[in-house]
Amino acid sequence: MEITIIGAGLAGCEAAWQAAAEGCTVKLYEMKPQRFSPAHESEGLAELVCSNSLRGAGMNNAVGCLKEEMRRIGSLFIEAADATAVPAGGALAVDRDEFSAYISKKIEQHPNIELIREEITSLPTEGSIILASGPLTSDALSDELAKLTGSEHLYFYDAIAPIVEADSIDYSIAWRASRYDKGGADYLNCPLNEEEYNTFVQALLDADKVEGREFEKLIHFEGCMPIEEMAARGPQTLAFGPMKPVGLDDPRTCRWPHAVIQLRQDNKHASLYNLVGFQTRLTYPEQQRIFRTIPGLQNARFARLGSMHRNTFVNAPNCLTKTLQLKNAPHITLAGQISGVEGYVESAACGLLAGIFAAYRMREEREPLPPSETALGALLTHLSEAEAENFQPMNVNYGLFPPLQLKRKMKRADRRLAMAARALEILPSWWQPIAEKREGRRHE
């Protein structure tokens, strides 16, 4: 009953904690302090590499719901966060050193976990392995993973375009069509006349941008170039690129507009749409300000804003089973950012599931999948059911949850609270049997 975990970051520590709670023996490998990724600085486990915020605490935000589920399950990540919280308004933020020290101590003291400070440079060919080496996984390990997934399914950067909530789009302006009516009316199209286009391009050029960190400057921008860089190449570059209007008759004018921004359905429930080709390094406030000048998006609510980061992750819908195993090497389970989730909390949540799943497999029991109505289940479902062709890492959000069956109209804020209430009500049907089995094993 031994599980090997590579990487003692957010996902790896949570996976180790859960697998150990399931009665497994865990060997947890961490390459620090022998070697540091370009973003890691401290020797401690579960290091927060950037912000000290674990985002919204309230149920109006899906990450608040995810954290509450994890809290009810006995997640080490949340236990440490609650114990080391600092004042942060409506968010849960932590003292990063205390947070890391709390988790390090718990892991080091656990009788079922052996922490080994050593870099793993090749993927074991047998045993039960959880790979949780994070978004900055070293080249040697990435090369091995690429061999198992096929290099076209392993990415080294995320070029994330903003996503808007479908019910915040103005459908009196945006219209549904595909270019030259080919392949159904799959896209929503927002038209810009010449003046609107010129103003938009100028706003992109003048906007505040996020500077990439030193190790992120190697990005190959061709093919996934940020829109502001394209705009800087010439005033009409965007109109001949991601904003080209050809084949798109605006039903209000029966003509092609000067430029068009296309939105593509982003989730099964059609509650989210992404701005096609709009990966960007503009700051978040600038994105909200400028993208709301697009006709049809004047009241847009953004489920996710654009970004470009160094990030190693697999094309989860193509490469992973529903239980996070590599399809081509099922003895390896992926956890954390490398599996295609995005964010500190989501990485830890993924580690939590990976630890439980791996333990069940060791006992030759079927892995318990969390219901898709829960935040944990919604996150997992996204990994297996997102559209593989345009897969990008995703923070948890209510657009990933199955819609509510509503008998009467409900305000958006109330809908979110109702989704959270449904999640927390359903959670015990999944968690209780796991907890009872754990309790039973403790008394054996």
Give alpha helix (H) positions in 297-442: 316-319, 344-362, 375-385, 412-442
Tally of CB atoms within 10 A around 269: 13
Position with the least CB separation from ligand FAD: 9
Q: Which stretch binds ligand FAD (CB under 6 A): 78-86, 135-143, 412-420, 421-429?
A: 135-143
Binding flags for ligand FAD, 325-354, as an x/- string (CB under 6 A) = -----------xxx----xx--x-------
Establish if 9 lies at the interface with ligand FAD (CB under 6 A).
yes
How far is 110 from 167, CA to CA, in rounded Å?
48
Determine if 141 is a binding residue for ligand FAD (CB under 6 A). yes
Minimum Å gap between C-beta 232 and ligand FAD is 24
Residue in the block written with tokens 């915020």:
53
373 scored as a contact of ligand FAD (CB under 6 A): no
Q: Which of 22, 30, 266, 373 binds ligand FAD (CB under 6 A)?
A: 30
Would you state the torsion angle of the CA atoms of residues 14, 20, 26, 31, taken in this order, to the nearest 10 degrees?
Answer: 20
Counting contacts by CB under 6 A, is residue 76 touching ligand FAD?
Answer: no
Q: Is 7 annotated as a binding residue?
A: yes
Does residue 138 touch ligand FAD according to CB under 6 A?
Answer: yes
Strand order, beta sheet including 272-275:
175-177, 187-192, 259-265, 272-275, 163-165, 302-304
**9 is known to lie in a ligand binding site:** yes
Stretch that binds ligand FAD, among 31-39, 102-110, 219-227, 360-368 (CB under 6 A): 31-39
The answer to whether the annotation marks 8 as part of a ligand binding site is yes
Nearer to ligand FAD, 47 or 373 (CB): 47
Q: Does 49 bind ligand FAD (CB under 6 A)?
A: yes
Q: CB of 174: closest distance to ligand FAD in angstroms?
A: 31
Q: Pick from 2, 106, 3: which is nearest to 45 by CA? A: 106
Residue closer to ligand FAD (CB basis): 49 or 417: 49
For position 8 contacting ligand FAD by CB under 6 A, the verdict is yes
Pick from 26, 28, 29, 169 the residue near ligand FAD by CB under 6 A: 29
Interface with ligand FAD: number of residues (CB under 6 A): 35
C-beta closer to ligand FAD: residue 157 or 401: 157
* Phi/psi-derived region of residue 364, left when phi > 0, alpha when psi is between -120 and 50, beta in every other case: left
Stretch that binds ligand FAD, among 128-136, 280-288, 361-369, 377-385 (CB under 6 A): 128-136
Helix (H) or strand (E) holding 25: strand 25-30
C-alpha–C-alpha distance, residues 63 and 401, integer Å: 12
Query: Please, what is the minimum distance in Å from the beta carbon of residue 67 to ligand FAD?
Result: 12
Q: Least distance to ligand FAD from the beta carbon of 366, Å?
A: 26
**194 contact partners, CB below 8 Å, separation of at least 6:** 258
Shortest spacing between CB 216 and ligand FAD, in angstroms: 8
Q: Using an 8 Å Cβ cutoff, are 308 and 157 in contact?
A: yes
Measured from the CB atom, is 80 or 201 closer to ligand FAD? 80
**DSSP secondary structure, 309-338, as one string:** EEEEEE-HHHHB-TTSEETTEEEEEE-GGG
Give the angle subtended at the CA of 440 by the CAs of 436 and 443, to the nearest 5°.
145
- Closest approach of ligand FAD to the CB of residue 6, in Å: 5
Residues 6+ apart with CB under 8 A from 109: none
Distances (CA, A) of 292 to 21, 248, 286, 289, 297: 48, 21, 10, 6, 5
Residues 6+ positions from 362 with CB-CB distance below 8 Å: 1, 3, 24, 128
* Residue 33 preceded by cis peptide, ω within 30: yes
Which residues of the chain form contacts with ligand FAD (CB under 6 A)?
6-12, 29-32, 37, 39-40, 49-51, 119-120, 132-138, 141, 309-310, 336-338, 343-344, 347
Could you list the residues known to form a binding site for FAD, using ranges: 7-12
Could you list the residues known to form a binding site, using ranges: 7-12
